[in-house]
Amino acid sequence: MRAEAIARNYADTLLALAQRHGGLATAEEYLRAIESLTVLLEGEPRVREFLETPRVSSAEKQQVLRAALTGHVPDPFLRFALIVVEKGRQSHFREIGLAYRDRVDEMLGRVRVQVTISHAPDAALQQEILRALESRLRKSVIAEFTVDPELLGGMVVRMGDQILDGSVRSRAAGLRRRLMDAHVPAATG
């Protein structure tokens, strides 16, 4: 089974577990828990290697995970994480977390976007951009802002695999294409 399908299956299971144990608030709590676990695994290569090595038994991995997470994550989430390890799918925690985040976002009617702009936006500009995106997308928007001084102006918004390019460079290239394709009548005289 492909990693994407595995991640979606586990994400769906985690979402069903969250709904059974409290609904939306619990779903967001589990989202914070799996994001924290993912950050830990990405930030601590030795922990990730320990969980992914076949030389360590599943029981030992579960024991360490239980000791690390008990009291820091809800018990149903901890049991879920232990089952992921028991099934040998711990190398998929990151993908499970991303798939779960997508499911929760979909359930809550929100979308995540990456906004690239030519200069550091202040809080007022960020809010203005968020309001414009929410109006256009008709969803709540969670935006991550990055700066690319190479942009001449405007912005580029990436939403999943979609790109909304409103940069000056892109508009200038479009204008150039239209001018090059335009039919210019012959001069009379």
Query: Token pair of 160, please?
Result: 């999943």
Measured CA to CA, the distance from residue 25 to residue 139 in angstroms comes to 19
DSSP string, 150-161: TS-SSEEEEETT
E strand or H helix at 69? helix 58-69
pLDDT tens digits along 48-79: 999 999 999 999 999 999 998 999 999 999 99
Q: Answer whether 154's CB lies under 8 Å from 171's CB.
A: yes
Q: If you average pLDDT over residues 110-134, what whole number do you get? A: 91
Q: Give the sign of the dihedral formed by CA 78, CA 81, CA 87, CA 88.
A: negative
110-181: CATH architecture: 3-Layer(aba) Sandwich (3.40)
pLDDT digits (tens, 9 = 90+) for 126-176: 999 899 889 988 999 999 999 988 877 778 888 887 887 655 555 556 656
Cβ proximity of 104 and 28 under 8 Å: yes
Query: What average pLDDT does range 72-93 have in this prediction?
Result: 95
94-130: string of b/e by CB count within 10 Å (b at 16+)? bbbbbbbbbbbbeeeeebebebbbbeebeeeeeeebb
Give the DSSP letter of residue 90. G
The model's pTM is: 0.76
Q: What is the CATH number of domain 3-106?
A: 1.10.520.20
Q: Could you tell me the residue ranges of all domains in the chain?
A: 3-106, 110-181
